[in-house]
Amino acid sequence: MRPPHPRRRGLGAATAALVALCAGQTLTALPATAATTAPAPTSAVTAAEDQAARAMAGSLTDSLWRARVRTAALTSEEVDVTALAAQAGGSRALRSTLTAADRRIATAKGLGAEVGPLLRLRLGDASMRGALAAGTTPWVAAATQDEDVTTVTAYDSHGRAHTLDARKAPAHPVYVVDIDSSTALAAGLDVLTGELARYGVHSAEPTAAADRTGTEPATGHRSPALAATGGFWTTRITAVELSDDEEPWIKGDAEIYALVTGFGQDGKVRVDPVDMPYLDNDGTVYRPNQILVNWSSYKYDLADAVMMEEDGSTNYHDLAQAIAAALLTITDQGAYIPLVNAVLDAIPADWWTDDPDYVDSWYTLARGDNGTRHGARGNGWMTVQPYYVPEL
């Protein structure tokens, strides 16, 4: 029996299991190392963030630098702190620490150097703006990936650690060192798609929320079905909401994406990633008009969707490889087979504590669906409608 699936826990397993479900059909080419490759330690990103937080806290003894950081934090939701240190007078030691931390984070997530600096700095809570603007020297903390955390450690400019309540924002201003999850997720989905292609698994390039009109994929590549028939049917999300739950003040916005899976025209399982960067907050109804399923890619009139959250520590290479080795094959039996249960059941038990997190699942999405569909876990709902994409 599997552990329960709280929203922000164990999603990396669901992601990779879905990848494995697809990859299982072509695993004859799977490298021998895939069966023994362990996921990168989930502490790798957090450790790099913590080191960056300590360095940032110590750097705030410099009044001129402290003022520059304060101005940036008050005028921007997120500050590219590595770039700021390079451009606005951060010490050589600070620049070196932040650059090294950025490299370690990219490596831990299986991303190349081309992704650029991922470290970001933000004010922990809006209630801290007054004290920060008044000149109080802030403490600095690393973002947590654990929603169940009860305390947070923040560092002051003298290197002292302060234990804070994770559920109640302190009066003292706190900078939070985090990563740019939106950039990391976009790059990670590209890596995931590349890994699928390496194993011969069909997968569309990640669909971004910017591609909302349904006229053409954001990549500019014309769909074969579009070229052949003059258009194709899709399922479009007109409204979506995730259930409200209490979050630590130190956590940033969610980075949500979905993996849509079913049988492709060739009868093999396929997976199509859909980035949903607008889904920042629980308890908020979003109306994206975003395409979720391109039915020209599927053999049957049914597909499944697993919604997940990127939570910071995922190594996309290792996720794809480690879970692909767990599932060897799944074949088309001439009728639609729901894949969500197979995805979740295939996940090794020790992956349930890793990130990213499982959010919810939708079974048997049909091309003709027109209305509200609730997730199987009851953690969210989507209103969907058929949408025909015509040729320009």
Does residue 181 carry a pLDDT above 60?
yes
- Tell me the average pLDDT across 46-52: 92
Question: What 3-state class would DSSP assign to 57?
Answer: helix
Question: Interior CA angle at 380 toward 378 and 381, to 5°?
Answer: 105
Percent of the chain clearing pLDDT 90 (strictly above): 43
- Tell me the average pLDDT across 242-268: 79
Question: Interior CA angle at 274 toward 260 and 381, to 5°?
Answer: 70
For residue 311, what pLDDT band results from cuts at 50, 70 and 90? low
The arrangement of strands across the sheet holding 380-390 comes to: 290-294, 231-242, 380-390, 371-374
Q: Highest mean pLDDT range out of 133-137, 308-312, 360-364?
A: 133-137
What distances in angstroms separate CA 99 from CA 92, 161, 184, one per listed residue?
11, 23, 16
The b/e string for 375-391 (b: 16+ C-beta within 10 A; e otherwise) is bbbebbbbbbeebebee
For residue 209, what pLDDT band results from cuts at 50, 70 and 90? low
What global pTM score does this model have? 0.75
What distances in angstroms separate CA 185 from CA 33, 195, 219, 294, one per listed residue?
25, 15, 17, 21
pLDDT at 211: 45
- Tell me the average pLDDT across 361-366: 93
For residue 312, what pLDDT band results from cuts at 50, 70 and 90? low
pLDDT at 43: 66
| Least confident residue range of 53-57, 181-185, 195-199 | 195-199
Helix residue ranges, H only, the chain: 11-23, 43-59, 63-75, 81-87, 92-108, 129-133, 181-198, 224-229, 316-324, 340-345
CA torsion sign for 70, 73, 76, 78 is positive
Does residue 42 carry a pLDDT above 70?
no
For residue 230, the one-letter residue type is: G
Q: How far apart are CA 56 and CA 72, in angstroms?
A: 14
Per DSSP bridges, beta strands 139-142 and 174-179 are parallel
pLDDT at 328: 34
Helix H or strand E encompassing 140: strand 139-142
Q: Highest mean pLDDT range out of 24-28, 237-241, 310-314?
A: 237-241
Question: What 3-state class would DSSP assign to 343?
Answer: helix
pLDDT at 330: 58
